[in-house]
Amino acid sequence: MNIQNKVLRKAYEGSYYTIIGAGGDLQECKDGYNELLEKEEIGHVNDNDFITFSGKDMNDEFNLTGDNRYPDDLTFLAFPLDNLNISKLAIFKLKMQDRWFDDVVDNNLDREER
C-alpha cells in the first residue's frame, strides 16, 4: 500500500471533512476555510493536517468505474475532525455543501455495486 492509499484509508476511517472540487491556490482555500471555521467558533485546522488528492487517486483506490469515476484532475481537500466542535462543523458542512469522506466513499461504492 503506497502513501496515498494510506492517507485515503486514514481519511475514510476518520470521516474527514471533505471539499470536492477545491480550486485555485490551495493555500488560499485552506486559509479561507480556517477563517470561516474560526468565525463560526468551530476551531482551527493546522496546515499540515490538510490532505489533498485527485479524482484519479479516488478512482484508483476505490476502483471507481464508468459514470461513477471522478475527473482525474479534480482536486479534493480534506482535514481531520480532531479538536473541532463537531456539532457546529456538521451544520457548517451543510451550509458549505461539503461532505464527510466516508460518506463520499460509501456512496460511490454503493453505486459501483448496482
- Which segments of the chain are extended strands (E)? 17-20, 51-54, 75-79, 99-100
Helix (H) or strand (E) holding 91: helix 86-96
Answer with the residue of higher pLDDT: 68 or 35. Answer: 35
Average pLDDT of the chain to the nearest whole number: 94
Per-domain residue ranges of the chain: 3-103
Number of H helices, E strands in the chain: 5, 4
Q: What is the pLDDT of residues 21-33, one digit of tens each?
A: 998 899 999 999 9
Is residue 55 within 8 A of residue 74, CB to CB? The reply is yes
Cell of 3: 502513501
